[in-house]
Amino acid sequence: MAVVTALEAEQWLIEKIAHRLGVATDEVSREVYFDELDLDSTEALILAGELENWLGFELSTTTLWYHPTVKELASYLAEESTHRATAA
């Protein structure tokens, strides 16, 4: 399992969100709350599943709730990824 940095996670999230919203990547702010984006709950769960597949580990469905912006989620993912790689 590869370690993911916060920058890589941010880029991945912004690309995927921009694609799902049909906007340019520079239109997705890393600090805006997910629920302020035009991303409904269906899209958010699909994104979470795709994210798990990319990371190679399962995320709680509440992860996006507790880390509600791209910046915060990316930071958490980098931390979690490092933790899991170290423990493996």
Partner 1 sequence: MRRPREVRPQVARRFRSAAPGGRTVYLVHPGALAATVYEGLAETLPNGAGLTVLDLGAVPEYADAALTGGRAATTVEALADRLLAAMEPADGVRTLAGWSFGGVLALAMVRAMPAALRPERLVLLDSIAPTEEYKQPDDALEPGLLLGWFAMYLGAKRGRAVDLAPDALAGCDADGGLTVVLDAAVAAGALLPDTPLPGLRKLYDTYVDGLLRNNRLTAPHRPEPAPLPLVLVKAERSLIPGDATLGWPPLAPHGLTLHTCPGDHYTMLGRSDSLDVIAPLLHTS
State yes or no: residue 86 binds partner 1 (CB under 8 A): no
Selected binder of partner 1 within 72, 80, 82, 84 (CB under 8 A): 72
Q: Are 45 and 61 in contact (CB under 8 A)?
A: yes
User: Which residue, among 88, 86, 63, has the nearest Cα to 76 in the 3D structure?
Assistant: 63
Contact segment (CB under 8 A) with partner 1 among 6-14, 32-40, 80-88 equals 32-40
Distance CA 88, CA 86 (A): 6
For partner 1, the binding residues (CB under 8 A) are: 20, 33, 35, 40-42, 45-50, 52-53, 60-62, 65-69, 72, 76
